[in-house]
Structure 1
Amino acid sequence: MTSTDDTPRPAATLVVFRHGPAGGAPQLLMQVRAASMRFAAGACVFPGGAVDPADAALAETLPMAEGWDGLPDMAARIAAIREMLEETGLAIGLTHRDGQPIDAAQAAEARILLAQANGALAPVLDAMGWRVNAAALTPLARWCPPLPRPFDTRFYLADLGSGQVDLSHEAHESERLLWLSAHETLAQADAGGLSLVFPTRRTLERLAQFSSFEEARRHALASPLDTISPAIIEAEGTSWLTIPEGLGYPVTRERLETARRK
């Protein structure tokens, strides 16, 4: 199929939870993107990226679970898992073939192998004796903003638990990694310390409603997964960027003049 600037490119992003310090609100893994990036330059986002052909090829070899949205969903889950390993060094949605968890040293080794394989996850799985545990990811949303060269991005949730892991950002794509609660991220953005694109801000507002990963997961499973394509409307003498009601978001519009779209 021939691609054009207006053909949405499949992508995925992964929202990773960990327990908050001293029993506080759960923290989310955030990434500040490099200023040189084409999309969301300098913005604070959840790790993720485009679905690569190798992700789709690997998806074709894995079994589908009941209720999943077929191969596109599996390819997006693989992309989210791969991007997380590549961008942060965190092995989410991966286990040894015998079901044993992956330790930090093994994740670091796999990250090096991933770079050597030009970002293809399948050779890494073979070398490490791992398998994909796609069920570790819970679908949250699907966004496809009407922009030039748009991304059709599936959002997933995953739980890290205690979060005692070593992380390091991938210098080409990001400036730093942050563990912050949804409320803390929003507060820093409102104070001017962080920049948020429209889908990220709406997602943080949504997740700020919950005091644990399990609460957020139950909410996600009970919510519709309609594709969200923000629209501009005129109301109350101003322009608003809006999303539909009924999809789990407590805030569904923002003044166009303040909404960061890309």
Structure 2
Amino acid sequence: MTETEPPRPAATLIVFRHARGGGSPQVLMQVRAAEMRFAAGACVFPGGAVDPADAALAETLPAPAGWDGLPDLTARIAAIREMLEETGLAIGLKREDGQPIDAEQAARARALLGQHKALHPVLEEMGWQIDAAALTPFARWCPRFARPFDTRFYLADLGTGAVDVSHEAHESQQLLWLSPSEVLAQAEAGALSVIFPTRRNLERLARFASFEEVRAHALASPLDTITPSIVEREGTAWLTIPEGMGYPVTEERLETAKRG
């Protein structure tokens, strides 16, 4: 990356639900379309780049405490918008009357978002507000390779197994509800393609038996920016991340690491 290529701000939302048949909680994964410029065909958490409209909306709202003020709120709004657009889930949104958002309302909001390409007019028409506290900061990654993104990861919990989602055909091929361990197992078997940051985050998530445990771990862990680096030891190149950031695995052979 050169100095004229600053990383583009982005946001990702890791959504949990209870497994319908019991067992480990599941997370929502998206298999990206093969035509996408970044991470084509890879299995990732839903998310995308921050838009100017996200920043404009953030400037009208009180920033949440605990991370990075306005940039944090802007990223949360981007994650909320991308989740609604890509999956149809209305997470981080609430009705002004305090009543729950039902599937029909979420579908209408998704259609409005498709028309307006911004969240603010959707909020006005639906009578909704941003619920930034529904998202918990989890990590921030900024790889300094080609097509750089400065991505903030957030956690959210649906608390139910009875959730319907549908993928947005332009950007993804499929949406999957799987436990983090199941995603890793399918990646090992060659059934799914998982890029380096996603794999490291899945390994971190797989250590916990519930969303509550993951959230407590996230709140107790550093939120410093993670920038992978390449080191060479005894003739072998490794892609590494810093220790002490909550990750059980901090390196992978460069020849096997998928970087998008």
- The residue correspondences of 1:5-84 to structure 2 (distance < 5 A) are 6-84=5-83
The amino acid that maps onto 2:221 is S
**Is the Cα–Cα contact under 8 Å of residues 59 and 78 in structure 1 kept in the other structure?**
yes
Aligned residues: 259
Unpaired stretches in structure 1, ≥5 consecutive residues:
none
Q: Distance in 2 between matches of 1:85 and 1:48?
A: 10
Moved over 6 A (4+): none
Aligned partners of 2:20 and 2:162 also within 8 Å? no
What is the correspondence of 1:1-262 to structure 2 with a 5 Å cutoff?
A: 6-117=5-116, 119-262=117-260
Distance in 1 between residues matched to 2:66 and 2:3, nearest whole Å = 31
Aligned to 2:198, what secondary structure does the other structure show?
Answer: helix
Distance 1:39 1:187 in 2: 23
Contact 2:200 2:249 in 1 (8 A): yes
Query: How far did residue 74 of structure 1 move?
Result: 0.3
TM-superposed deviation, 1:112: 0.3
Q: Give the TM-score normalised by structure 2.
A: 0.97
Distance 2:228 2:112 in 1: 39
The CA deviation string for residues 201-225 of structure 1, in whole angstroms up to 9 with x for no partner, is: 0000000000000000000000000
Letter in 2 for 1:216: V
Q: Is the 8 A contact 1:243 1:252 kept in 2?
A: yes
User: Matched residues in 2 for 1:35 and 1:64: separation?
Assistant: 36
Is the contact made by 1:16 and 1:159 (CA closer than 8 Å) also made in structure 2?
yes
- Deviation for aligned residue 1:5: 5.7
Measure, in 2, the Cα distance between the counterparts of 1:19 and 1:37: 30
Aligned residue type for 2:65:
E
* 1-structure distance, mates of 2:61, 2:12: 20
1:193 corresponds to which letter in structure 2? A
Q: TM-score, normalised by structure 1?
A: 0.97
- Letter of the structure 1 residue corresponding to residue 49 of structure 2: A
**Mean alpha-carbon deviation: is it higher for 17-26 or for 211-220?**
17-26
1:120-179: per-residue Cα shift (whole Å, max 9, x none)?
Answer: 000000000000001000000000001133100000000011131221100000000000
Contact 1:143 1:153 in 2 (8 A): yes
Q: Which amino acid aligns with 1:87?
A: E
Deviation at 1:194, TM superposition (A): 0.2
Q: Distance in 2 between matches of 1:13 and 1:241?
A: 22
Shift of 1:101: 1.5
Structure 2: how far apart are the matches of 1:5 and 1:206?
33
Percent identity over the alignment is 76
Please, what is the CA RMSD of the aligned residues?
1.2
